[in-house]
Amino acid sequence: MDNTSIKHALNEAVENFQKGNHERARQIVAQILKQAPDSEEAWILASQLAKNEQEEIHILKKWLAIKPDHQVARERLNLLLLTDTSEANPSQTYIPGEIKTARKPPKPLNFVDILLLPVIILQKMPLYLLLIPAALIIFVGGYIYYQTNMVADFSYKDFIFTKGFEEITKDDHVWRITFEFQNNTTFSGKVRHTSPFREGTVPMITHDILVTSGEYADSTKVNTRVTNHKFFWKAVDNHQPEGTINLLHTVPKNDEIYQQLLSIKDGDIVTITGREILKIDIYTGDKYEGYWQDAGCNTTLITSVQILAPTEKAP
């Protein structure tokens, strides 16, 4: 299989992935890897098409067996292995019996007893009294985390851009962008998921936004979810839905676009326009750190955002 055939097959696999035909996409990728086992793009797409984390771990191990020095695959595998938990030990049931012992005089409190006194008091408190401060701690902690990591002020003033946004620098960090197409792409429809996030290696990517149209926009016909920058859907009656579904990884062109992205909510009807990004290479000084590249999604330099009334149709 020559490079042209591989590229054509990869494009076909990505198109099937975007349309939700995951099984067909897996078949195409498997065929590519049989003919071209060193195809980096095919391995990336294969990992994105994994049905679960265990399958993705298996794919990454096969990839690393072929190319053991691939940094991105190694880091992803290590992350998955860290989050992989073993089964818990079976719970044991304790049935208390009646034990009669002679009453002993209380012991005087020592220093350790005094230190443990708050724990003993907490153990004797009713459960509902413990739940109130626990819920308050979770709420406050979640609020602080959200404000710090999700909607904290974000400014492009610290970044330096080339005229065509093909290179971005900040301090000694450099990001080189390869665009997929020359022209802009427009995504119109109903938002079924939006979540701001900070990706440390590519801080200019600010949101995951799932834009849907047709039956994909109807929650009574198609169920959708977004996890770990990947989207999944399933038709309620197992038919092939009509319409489009695209998960955007957004790179706002400026602060004004960023603020508009922050205002998007689930259920909004939107029209988002931008230039699709194929790959972002990451450097620290002269050292190559890796790259960002999606598979089946749309990393896009956003140049225009229009939020319509929920009852309007996107033009």
pLDDT of residue 97: 36
Mean pLDDT of 12-24: 87
Mean pLDDT of 194-221: 90
Cα–Cα distance, 240 to 267 (Å, whole number): 22
Alpha helices in 106-246 (DSSP H): 111-124, 127-149
Cα–Cα distance, 250 to 193 (Å, whole number): 13
Examine the pLDDT at 26 and tell me if it is beyond 80: yes
pTM, two decimal places: 0.55
**Mean pLDDT of all residues in the chain?**
81
Q: Where are the beta strands (DSSP E) in 228-308?
A: 230-235, 245-252, 269-284, 287-292, 298-308
Residue 5 C-alpha from the chain's centroid: 31
- Among 31-45, 89-103, 130-144, name the most confident range: 31-45
Residue 226, CA distances (Å) to 77, 93, 124 in order: 20, 39, 42
- At 142, the pLDDT band (50, 70, 90 cuts) reads low
Report the chain's terminal Cα–Cα distance, integer Å. 42
pLDDT of residue 10: 84
Mean pLDDT of 131-158: 63
pLDDT of residue 42: 87
Cα–Cα distance, 149 to 202 (Å, whole number): 14
161-200 pLDDT per residue, tens: 887 889 999 889 999 999 988 899 999 999 999 988 767 7
Mean pLDDT of 13-23: 86
* Listed range (54-68, 123-137, 298-312) with the worst mean pLDDT: 123-137
Strands 245-252 and 298-308: parallel
Examine the pLDDT at 121 and tell me if it is beyond 70: no
62-120 pLDDT per residue, tens: 988 888 888 888 888 888 887 655 333 333 333 333 334 444 555 554 555 555 666 66
